[in-house]
């Protein structure tokens, strides 16, 4: 009988997959096969599947760990746009001296530091929350002023993407852990990765190709500064879209991955990513009930370059 073909997977680049998870794959695959009433070879829990010979890199799949290069920015213009920020009632977010903020932003946009655009985006928002003299714990930004900052800081490869933002709201009741909510003008917005080329790496017998981020009308996230670097957690309404999966005893394919957290590491372009198979995957693609149930409890963790 032909092997069961589902649509779930692990991604390394722009997605998921780590060594510990690979050790759990044989048991997971057997459970999926049994649940689908399809025969497949039995593998003892302590065994690993036979090692596959190295595969040639498929066309369009990058074997190297590529990271986009942050664009050089006019730091003076960035600082000017930061100080011009207002809430939706035209109250200034910053008053008086902001030497600590100015120094932090100068370091953030230092072109000699190995930081991605993604890290610069989240770090910029964290510093704004931490240093704003605005008295409110709930702040809705004036969008044109915020857009000017996002454009001058060049934290997006595509300047048209931030122009789709219609609302930015900051909640900072816990000043050490601010939370942002960003709304778009459309119910679904896609941000192509790496100028539409995406990021690819050969794993699990096929090319894991992360192509775009998908935002469902809005998205939200929380920020915290740890000893190792900035941590972004509690993502809502955003998925990673692409072609992911594995080829072997059981062929698996998925398109949607839900990123749960990203931890950026100081002095590195690497990030620690935690992610799960998105529930969106089971809305748009056909899978077994058992596979859908199992993936609710499986979270993958990987250390990898990450950007948009």
pLDDT tens, 79-114?
Answer: 999 999 999 999 999 988 789 999 999 999 998 887
CA distances from 239 to 215, 255, 281 (A): 7, 10, 10
Domain boundaries along the sequence of the chain = 5-45+189-305, 75-184
Q: Tally DSSP H helices, then E strands, for the chain.
A: 7, 11
Which of 148, 124, 278, 144 minimizes the C-alpha distance to 216? 278
Q: Indicate yes or no: pTM above 0.75.
A: yes
CA pseudo-torsion sign 280, 167, 75, 179: negative
Q: At what angle do helices 99-108 and 117-131 cross, to 10 degrees?
A: 180
What is the widest separation between alpha-carbon atoms in the chain?
73
Residues 6+ apart with CB under 8 A from 75: 105, 106, 109
pLDDT in tens, 166-219: 999 999 999 999 999 999 999 999 999 887 778 777 777 788 788 899 999 999
């Amino acid at each position: 009988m032909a092997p069961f073909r589902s649509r779930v997977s692990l991604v390394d680049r722009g997605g998921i997959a780590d060594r510990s998870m690979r050790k759990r794959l044989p048991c997971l695959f057997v459970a999926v096969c049994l649940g689908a009433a399809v025969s497949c070879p039995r593998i003892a829990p302590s065994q690993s599947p036979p090692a596959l010979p190295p595969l040639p890199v498929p066309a369009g799949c990058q074997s190297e760990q590529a990271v986009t290069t942050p664009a050089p920015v006019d730091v003076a213009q960035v600082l000017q746009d930061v100080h011009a920020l207002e809430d939706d009632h035209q109250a200034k977010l910053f008053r008086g001296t902001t030497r600590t903020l100015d120094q932090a932003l100068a370091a953030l946009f230092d072109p000699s530091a190995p930081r991605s655009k993604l890290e610069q985006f989240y770090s910029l928002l964290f510093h704004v929350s931490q240093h704003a003299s605005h008295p409110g714990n709930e702040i809705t930004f004036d969008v044109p002023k915020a857009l000017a900052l996002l454009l001058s800081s060049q934290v997006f490869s595509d300047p048209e993407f931030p122009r789709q933002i219609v609302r930015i709201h900051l909640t900072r009741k816990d000043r050490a852990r601010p939370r942002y909510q960003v709304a778009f003008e459309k119910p679904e917005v896609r941000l192509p990765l790496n100028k539409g080329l995406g990021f690819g790496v050969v794993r699990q017998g096929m090319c894991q190709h992360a192509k775009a981020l998908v935002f469902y009308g809005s998205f939200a996230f929380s920020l915290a500064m740890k000893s190792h670097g900035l941590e972004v957690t509690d993502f809502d309404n955003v998925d990673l879209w692409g072609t992911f999966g594995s080829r072997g005893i059981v062929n698996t394919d998925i398109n949607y991955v839900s990123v749960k957290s990203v931890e950026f590491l100081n002095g590195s372009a690497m990030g620690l990513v935690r992610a799960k198979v998105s529930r969106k995957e089971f809305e748009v693609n056909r899978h077994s009930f058992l596979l859908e149930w199992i993936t609710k409890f499986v979270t993958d963790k990987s250390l990898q370059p990450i950007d948009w």
